[in-house]
Structure 1
Amino acid sequence: MVNLVPGLLICLMTAQTLQHDGNRTRTKSKNSTAFEPKTFRGRTDTLNHTNQLLYPSTDPELDVNLEDPVAVFTKSIFSTWVIPLSYILAMLVGIPSNAYILTFLRLRAKSFSIIVLYLNLALSDLLLLLSQALRVHYHFNGNNWIFGEISCRLITALFYGNVYCSAQTIACISLRRYLAVVKPFLYRRLAKTTLAVWTCFIVWFMFVAAIVPELMVRQSYHITQLGITTCHDVLPLEQKPHSLLVPYRLMLVFTGFIVPFLICVFAHAAVVYHLGQSRCDWKPFIRVSTLVFIIFVMCFLPSGILHIAHYIRLFLNEDDRLYGYYRVAVCLCSFHSCLDPFLCMLVSKTAASDLQFISLHGTPQRPAVRM
């Protein structure tokens, strides 16, 4: 992942140059039908618009109606207090707990295939929580972004990339558990270590694919009537670089949420059914597995449903009123990132777990049975 940083920065600077050149020759149209998902709608002020991306520091301006949902959202208690306080709580709990997982989860040859997935999940959750630090200041500051365009792009890209990465990793863990329980003979023949490495590689490849487009378009604009600079929340509808991302982001919603969610539902139902038919007493593992599944559904389902509903309403009648509710629901994804370490430690205490933690004496407690 370290080698990707220079490449991402080069893409970022190239995109700034290309977008700057394109904006100087493009005629803006207030009646354009292009739209931007995941954000409120704004329109370009053709009289005051500077057409500049980063230098000088004055942000391009957008006009909004003071009665639009964006004006209500930026001044609401949910945006200026509930969301940032939720992020702070998730960070206070999640950052040290995920760091603990990365430090004390024991790597052993026989259980590498599952442990590497949990390490991957902890790393993704940690990056997601760290990306919220500047967003906290942004919301407390009345949704006014003061840290510049580059940091806005990076924070936006890291947040959405890690949300998808976490959901996909959880789906991979669920699928592995399904194979171990329902298809044990097939599971034993698999090269589990190689498969786990390739799984992590694919997940992080999709992470990069998710964040690169976010880095290549402008994310911060000055809202003239409100006197604030928003980060990702309000974007112009008529600019072609933004409208071109619509099909791409629809694909990300499908691959980053819908597919992982369906995999988790199918895998959990199949595992619970097959263990219930067994003569052994798997009730403790079933209870823990069900708790993990319920928390996953409660944290990811509201934001996923609102995200999809926002797309539909925006496409049909350019109605963006659901975006504010979606931003509140996204807080639940952050709470899942801070709960994952505790769920991981809870799973490690079941008899069917391959997870082991290094104790204070340096020796792990071995599970009685491996699944």
Structure 2
Amino acid sequence: MAYLVLGLFICVMAARTIQDDGKRSSIKTNSSPGAIPKTFMGRMRKLNRTNQLLYPSTSPSLLVDPEDAAAHYITGILSTRAIPSLYILAMLVGIPSNTYILGFLKNKTKSFSTAILYLNLALSDLLLLLSLALRVHYHFNQNDWAFGEISCRLVTAFFYGNVYCSAQTIACISLKRYLAVVRPFLYRRLAKTTLTIWACLVVWMLFGAAVVPELLVRQSYTVPRLGVTTCHDVLPLEEKSHSMLASLRLLMVCLGFIVPFLICIYAHVSVVYHLGQSGRDWRPFIRVSTLVFIIFGVCFFPSSILQIAHYSCLFSNGDDRLYGYYRLAACLCCFHSCLDPFLCILISKTATSELQFISLNGTRRRPTAT
């Protein structure tokens, strides 16, 4: 992890030099009729487009009306004080706790397949929280990105990719508990370690699918009227390089949250029902499972719904006022990364009850199965 942070630091320092050159070159651009941004309304100021994707140091500009929602968000207290303060709180709690959970898994988790899932979750949470450091500076700096186009792409990609990665890993953990409680015979026959490794590989493949589109398109644009360079907050949707980004983002919302959320609902309801029918007292197990499900829904559901609603309003009537609320709701995803380590500890304490249920359930049903 130390090498990862060191490499990111070197990359940011190099990219900052590139951004300074880009700011100087953007002053010489001429205004022209432009496009609808993905997030806020504005007009594009185009360069002599040799190839902006090949030369990210040339920073194009967007014209934003000072009375628009974009200007209110960029200059308002929500983005310059509230959101970065929440990010700092998430980092202070989440980074130490996720680091601790890595050692906890090594010593306390008896099931190797379970340890793999928790390790996958802790790793994605750490990457998400570490990516917030530059965004904190960005928001406190009046939403003026000072670290270059390359680092802006990396931070944006890591944020969205790891949010989806965390949600999908939680769904895998819920599915594993569903099989252990509701399908104990099938669970015993499965090659759990192999299946868990394949599940984690699929999760990281979806992570790549979420990251690649963000890395391929420009994320930082200068807003001359406000005197800032935004990172991801204002993007030209009608530009050829960005035309498919909104559709891909909606697809990732479905694959990264809607599908995992439906899996968690089905798994939780099935587990609680079968535990209630077992004739024994499984209240601690049920309470922990319910807590995990509620926290998952509270942290991920608002941002996903607001993201879908934002795109719907933007495409239907050009209304972009929901974007600020979506960015605030996205902070809840970061707090889920803080709570995951504590949930892992609680779940590990009920692992004995889970194994006991599997044993009793299997013993009771074995004569009828044969």
The TM-score normalised by the length of structure 1 is: 0.84
Displacement, 1:50? Answer: 9.8
Displacement, 1:142? Answer: 0.5
SS at match of 1:41: coil
Looking at structure 2, the residues matched to 96 and 119 of structure 1 have their Cα atoms a distance apart, in angstroms, of 15
- Structure 2 residue aligned with 1:322: 322
SS at match of 1:218: coil
Q: Indicate if the aligned counterparts of 1:43 and 1:237 stay in contact, CA closer than 8 A.
A: no
Looking at structure 2, the residues matched to 105 and 76 of structure 1 have their Cα atoms a distance apart, in angstroms, of 42
Displacement, 1:58? Answer: 5.7
Q: Indicate if the aligned counterparts of 1:145 and 1:228 stay in contact, CA closer than 8 A.
A: yes
SS at match of 2:222: strand
- Structure 2 residue aligned with 1:347: 347
Looking at structure 1, the residues matched to 238 and 115 of structure 2 have their Cα atoms a distance apart, in angstroms, of 47
**Root-mean-square deviation (Å):** 3.1
- Structure 1 residue aligned with 2:132: 132
- Structure 2 residue aligned with 1:155: 155
343-352 or 118-127: bigger deviation: 343-352
Displacement, 1:46? Answer: 4.7
SS at match of 1:105: helix
Looking at structure 1, the residues matched to 34 and 78 of structure 2 have their Cα atoms a distance apart, in angstroms, of 32
- Structure 1 residue aligned with 2:221: 221
Q: 1:280 to 1:288 in 2, by over 3 A?
A: same
Displacement, 1:254? Answer: 0.7
Looking at structure 2, the residues matched to 191 and 52 of structure 1 have their Cα atoms a distance apart, in angstroms, of 49
1:172-191 superposed Cα distances (whole Å, 9 cap, x missing partner): 10011111111111111111
- Structure 2 residue aligned with 1:210: 210
Aligned positions, number: 338
- Structure 1 residue aligned with 2:112: 112
Looking at structure 2, the residues matched to 234 and 351 of structure 1 have their Cα atoms a distance apart, in angstroms, of 46
SS at match of 1:315: helix
Looking at structure 2, the residues matched to 303 and 320 of structure 1 have their Cα atoms a distance apart, in angstroms, of 15
Report which structure shows greater RCO (CA 8 Å, sep ≥6). Answer: 1
- Structure 1 residue aligned with 2:40: 40
Displacement, 1:48? Answer: 9.9
1:266-291 superposed Cα distances (whole Å, 9 cap, x missing partner): 11111111101111210011011111
Matched, 1:234 2:253: no
1:334-361 superposed Cα distances (whole Å, 9 cap, x missing partner): 000011001111222225468xxxxxxx
Matched, 1:306 2:335: no
Matched, 1:64 2:64: yes
Q: 1:29 to 1:58 in 2, by over 3 A?
A: closer
AA at the equivalent of 2:301: L
Q: Can you give the 5+ residue segments of structure 1 that lack an aligned partner in the other structure?
A: 10-27, 355-366
Matched, 1:191 2:199: no
SS at match of 1:62: strand
75-84 or 51-60: bigger deviation: 51-60
Q: Which has the higher helix share?
A: 2
Q: Indicate if the aligned counterparts of 2:47 and 2:60 stay in contact, CA closer than 8 A.
A: no
- Structure 2 residue aligned with 1:276: 276
Looking at structure 2, the residues matched to 56 and 108 of structure 1 have their Cα atoms a distance apart, in angstroms, of 47
* Aligned counterparts, 1:284-303, within 5 A: 284-303=284-303
Q: 1:125 to 1:61 in 2, by over 3 A?
A: same
